[in-house]
Amino acid sequence: MKILAYKKESLLHGPAHLLQCCICGENDRNKLIVEDIGIAVGMCGDDYSFCMECWGAKDLGKKLLNLIGYTALKILDENLELKEVD
């Protein structure tokens, strides 16, 4: 039996919404393994859910970076103290 789960509206977690995989759109709660995990870059973030298939995919990292709008997460050189070593 397929189960749809809707997160209730709250001041802390925002408006009510259907839990579904942010990558493939799977919305059967029996197949979701991660529900509304907060992922942020800097001060801004969103909640994401993942199904078992997408969570276990080899390219999850790449898909996750695309979701948050990044091609790579590296700090700019000018914000680092770099040391060359042999």
Q: What is the pLDDT of residues 42-67, one digit of tens each?
A: 777 889 999 999 999 999 999 998 88
Domain of 13, in residue numbers: 6-79
| Average pLDDT of span 1-12 | 92
What is the predicted pLDDT for the residue at 85? 94
Residue 25 has pLDDT above 80, yes or no: yes
User: How much of the chain, in percent, has pLDDT values that exceed 70?
Assistant: 100
Residue 84, in any domain of the structure: no
Residue 5 structure tokens: 């789960």
Confidence at 5, pLDDT banded by 50, 70, 90:
very high
Give CA separation, 46 vs 10, 30, 78, 86, in Å: 15, 22, 28, 41
Question: How many angstroms from the chain centroid is the CA of residue 67?
Answer: 7
What is the predicted pLDDT for the residue at 4? 97
Residue 85, in any domain of the structure: no
Could you give the number of structural domains in the chain? 1
Residue 17, in any domain of the structure: yes
